[in-house]
Amino acid sequence: DAVGAGYLYMRSDDKSKSRELAEATYTRLVKRWNQPSAQANIWFVTGLGALRGNDFEGTKFVYTPGVQADYETTRIHFGGTARLYRASGVKHDFLSLRGGFSFYEAEYEETQPWLILEARHMRDLSDRVEFTPMLRLVNKRFFIEGGVSNNRDIRFNFMYIF
Protein backbone atom coordinates (compact mmCIF):
# COMPACT_ATOMS: atom_id res chain seq x y z
CA ASP A 1 0.00 0.00 0.00
CA ALA A 2 1.18 3.51 -0.77
CA VAL A 3 -0.33 6.96 -0.43
CA GLY A 4 0.83 10.06 -2.23
CA ALA A 5 -0.09 13.22 -4.06
CA GLY A 6 -0.27 13.94 -7.74
CA TYR A 7 -0.60 16.86 -10.12
CA LEU A 8 -1.59 16.42 -13.76
CA TYR A 9 -1.98 18.99 -16.52
CA MET A 10 -4.06 17.90 -19.53
CA ARG A 11 -4.79 19.73 -22.79
CA SER A 12 -6.83 18.91 -25.89
CA ASP A 13 -5.12 18.47 -29.25
CA ASP A 14 -6.49 21.78 -30.55
CA LYS A 15 -5.50 23.48 -27.25
CA SER A 16 -9.07 24.72 -26.72
CA LYS A 17 -9.57 22.72 -23.48
CA SER A 18 -7.21 22.37 -20.55
CA ARG A 19 -7.49 20.63 -17.20
CA GLU A 20 -5.48 20.78 -13.96
CA LEU A 21 -5.85 17.97 -11.46
CA ALA A 22 -4.50 17.94 -7.91
CA GLU A 23 -5.20 14.68 -6.10
CA ALA A 24 -4.43 12.48 -3.15
CA THR A 25 -3.56 9.00 -4.42
CA TYR A 26 -3.72 5.47 -3.10
CA THR A 27 -1.96 2.49 -4.70
CA ARG A 28 -2.37 -1.15 -3.72
CA LEU A 29 -0.45 -4.14 -4.98
CA VAL A 30 -3.06 -6.67 -6.12
CA LYS A 31 -0.73 -9.47 -7.23
CA ARG A 32 3.01 -9.97 -7.65
CA TRP A 33 4.86 -12.78 -9.39
CA ASN A 34 8.52 -13.06 -8.42
CA GLN A 35 10.65 -15.05 -10.82
CA PRO A 36 14.38 -15.80 -10.63
CA SER A 37 15.29 -12.84 -12.86
CA ALA A 38 12.01 -10.98 -13.36
CA GLN A 39 8.95 -9.59 -11.64
CA ALA A 40 5.37 -8.96 -12.76
CA ASN A 41 2.77 -6.90 -10.92
CA ILE A 42 -0.85 -5.82 -11.01
CA TRP A 43 -1.68 -2.60 -9.16
CA PHE A 44 -4.93 -0.86 -8.21
CA VAL A 45 -4.50 2.91 -8.39
CA THR A 46 -7.04 5.54 -7.38
CA GLY A 47 -7.25 9.15 -6.40
CA LEU A 48 -9.57 11.86 -5.12
CA GLY A 49 -9.06 15.49 -5.83
CA ALA A 50 -9.96 18.79 -7.42
CA LEU A 51 -10.26 19.42 -11.15
CA ARG A 52 -10.14 22.84 -12.79
CA GLY A 53 -10.78 23.53 -16.45
CA ASN A 54 -10.85 26.49 -18.80
CA ASP A 55 -14.28 25.45 -20.14
CA PHE A 56 -16.15 25.40 -16.79
CA GLU A 57 -16.38 27.57 -13.69
CA GLY A 58 -14.85 26.69 -10.34
CA THR A 59 -13.48 23.38 -9.14
CA LYS A 60 -15.03 19.94 -9.58
CA PHE A 61 -14.59 16.92 -7.30
CA VAL A 62 -12.87 14.16 -9.27
CA TYR A 63 -12.18 10.47 -8.65
CA THR A 64 -9.67 8.47 -10.65
CA PRO A 65 -9.85 4.66 -10.39
CA GLY A 66 -7.48 2.57 -12.47
CA VAL A 67 -5.32 -0.49 -12.91
CA GLN A 68 -1.69 -0.92 -13.91
CA ALA A 69 0.21 -4.05 -14.93
CA ASP A 70 3.93 -4.41 -15.55
CA TYR A 71 6.64 -6.97 -16.27
CA GLU A 72 10.30 -6.16 -15.72
CA THR A 73 13.70 -7.78 -15.69
CA THR A 74 16.97 -5.98 -15.00
CA ARG A 75 17.13 -5.17 -18.75
CA ILE A 76 13.56 -4.91 -20.18
CA HIS A 77 10.28 -3.33 -19.09
CA PHE A 78 6.70 -3.65 -20.39
CA GLY A 79 3.64 -2.08 -18.82
CA GLY A 80 0.16 -0.78 -19.31
CA THR A 81 -2.19 1.52 -17.45
CA ALA A 82 -5.92 2.17 -17.74
CA ARG A 83 -7.42 4.95 -15.63
CA LEU A 84 -10.73 6.78 -15.53
CA TYR A 85 -10.98 10.48 -14.69
CA ARG A 86 -14.52 11.19 -13.51
CA ALA A 87 -16.14 14.46 -12.43
CA SER A 88 -19.51 16.07 -13.09
CA GLY A 89 -19.68 16.38 -16.90
CA VAL A 90 -16.14 15.03 -17.35
CA LYS A 91 -15.28 11.53 -18.58
CA HIS A 92 -11.67 11.19 -19.62
CA ASP A 93 -10.53 7.59 -20.11
CA PHE A 94 -6.77 7.15 -20.21
CA LEU A 95 -4.84 4.24 -21.74
CA SER A 96 -1.06 3.90 -21.79
CA LEU A 97 1.28 1.19 -23.09
CA ARG A 98 5.02 1.35 -22.58
CA GLY A 99 8.09 -0.69 -23.25
CA GLY A 100 11.80 -0.17 -22.94
CA PHE A 101 15.23 -1.44 -22.11
CA SER A 102 18.09 -0.68 -19.77
CA PHE A 103 21.44 0.23 -21.27
CA TYR A 104 23.19 -2.05 -18.77
CA GLU A 105 22.56 -3.89 -15.51
CA ALA A 106 23.36 -1.90 -12.40
CA GLU A 107 23.77 -2.63 -8.72
CA TYR A 108 21.20 -1.30 -6.26
CA GLU A 109 23.54 1.54 -5.21
CA GLU A 110 24.18 2.62 -8.83
CA THR A 111 22.00 4.71 -11.13
CA GLN A 112 20.51 2.64 -13.92
CA PRO A 113 19.51 4.44 -17.15
CA TRP A 114 16.60 3.19 -19.27
CA LEU A 115 15.09 4.17 -22.62
CA ILE A 116 11.29 3.93 -22.53
CA LEU A 117 8.74 4.48 -25.32
CA GLU A 118 5.18 5.23 -24.24
CA ALA A 119 2.03 5.33 -26.39
CA ARG A 120 -0.95 6.97 -24.70
CA HIS A 121 -4.42 8.27 -25.42
CA MET A 122 -6.99 10.22 -23.41
CA ARG A 123 -10.60 10.08 -24.58
CA ASP A 124 -12.50 13.34 -24.88
CA LEU A 125 -9.31 15.40 -25.03
CA SER A 126 -7.45 13.79 -27.92
CA ASP A 127 -8.20 11.97 -31.16
CA ARG A 128 -4.57 10.96 -31.60
CA VAL A 129 -2.20 8.57 -29.90
CA GLU A 130 0.72 10.39 -28.33
CA PHE A 131 4.18 8.78 -28.48
CA THR A 132 6.90 9.82 -26.05
CA PRO A 133 10.47 8.47 -25.88
CA MET A 134 11.78 9.00 -22.34
CA LEU A 135 15.03 8.62 -20.46
CA ARG A 136 14.46 6.97 -17.05
CA LEU A 137 16.94 7.02 -14.19
CA VAL A 138 16.45 4.68 -11.22
CA ASN A 139 18.61 4.67 -8.10
CA LYS A 140 17.65 3.10 -4.77
CA ARG A 141 14.77 5.27 -3.59
CA PHE A 142 14.16 7.58 -6.56
CA PHE A 143 12.76 7.28 -10.03
CA ILE A 144 12.98 10.10 -12.59
CA GLU A 145 11.90 10.04 -16.22
CA GLY A 146 11.43 12.70 -18.85
CA GLY A 147 11.01 13.17 -22.56
CA VAL A 148 9.31 15.11 -25.33
CA SER A 149 6.26 13.71 -27.16
CA ASN A 150 5.48 13.71 -30.87
CA ASN A 151 3.14 16.65 -30.01
CA ARG A 152 6.21 18.51 -28.65
CA ASP A 153 4.87 18.32 -25.09
CA ILE A 154 7.32 17.87 -22.24
CA ARG A 155 6.69 14.85 -20.00
CA PHE A 156 8.24 14.48 -16.54
CA ASN A 157 7.66 11.95 -13.76
CA PHE A 158 9.33 11.82 -10.37
CA MET A 159 8.92 9.42 -7.47
CA TYR A 160 10.79 9.23 -4.18
CA ILE A 161 10.25 6.45 -1.65
CA PHE A 162 10.53 7.59 1.96
pLDDT digits 0-9 by tens, 58-107 = 999 999 999 999 999 999 999 999 999 999 999 999 999 999 999 998 88
Give how far Cα 66 sits from Cα of 43, 76, 147, 149, Å: 8, 24, 24, 23
Task: Please write the tens of the pLDDT for every residue from 109-125.
Answer: 899 999 999 999 999 88
pTM for this model (two decimals): 0.85
The model's confidence at residue 13, banded by pLDDT at 50, 70 and 90, is confident
Q: Tell me the three-class secondary structure of 52-88, residue by residue.
A: EECCCCCEEEEECCEEEEEEEECCEEEEEEEEEEEEC
Cα–Cα dist 97/95, whole Å: 7
The model's confidence at residue 141, banded by pLDDT at 50, 70 and 90, is confident
Strands 154-160 and 66-73, how do they pair? unpaired
